[in-house]
Structure 1
Amino acid sequence: MRGEGMIKVTLVRGLAGKPEPHIQAVKSLGLKRVGQSRLLPDTPVVWGNIKKAFYLLKVEQV
């Protein structure tokens, strides 16, 4: 599945009180507010950031 197309990443939980590396991972995905979504390329770099803060995000294959 990876390496093909795009994925939709949505921030579903707030960043307050979370560890700094998790906050940086979410911000590197371009997400700032709860409910905000981004379409991102399905690449290993993006998946690395998703895995770091997986419990804050919802990921959908587009």
Structure 2
Amino acid sequence: MVKLKVTQVKSKIGTKQNHRDSLRTLGLHKIRQSTVREDTPEVRGLIHTVRHLVVVEEVK
């Protein structure tokens, strides 16, 4: 199963509430913090919401 490594690269200060909620749901709280998630449609949707704040890499 493919996993996605999601790293926050920009601050959530000044963003919309749903962007902050998406980051929290992904498990991101600080800049340069990373989490590894399963590649599911739900996770892809969360990443799409905050695509300007995060960087995504595939992990095998």
TM-score (norm 1): 0.91
Cα-Cα RMSD: 0.7
Percent sequence identity over aligned pairs: 36
Q: Distance in 1 between matches of 2:25 and 2:45?
A: 11
Task: Show the counterpart of 1:58.
Answer: 55
- Number of aligned residue pairs: give it: 59
TM-score (norm 2): 0.94
1:36-51 aligned at under 5 Å gives the runs 36-51=33-48
- Partner amino acid, structure 2, of 1:38: T
Q: Which runs of 5+ in 1 are unaligned?
A: none
Quote the offset at 1:5 in angstroms: 1.4
Moved over 2 A (4+): none
Task: Show the counterpart of 2:19.
Answer: 22
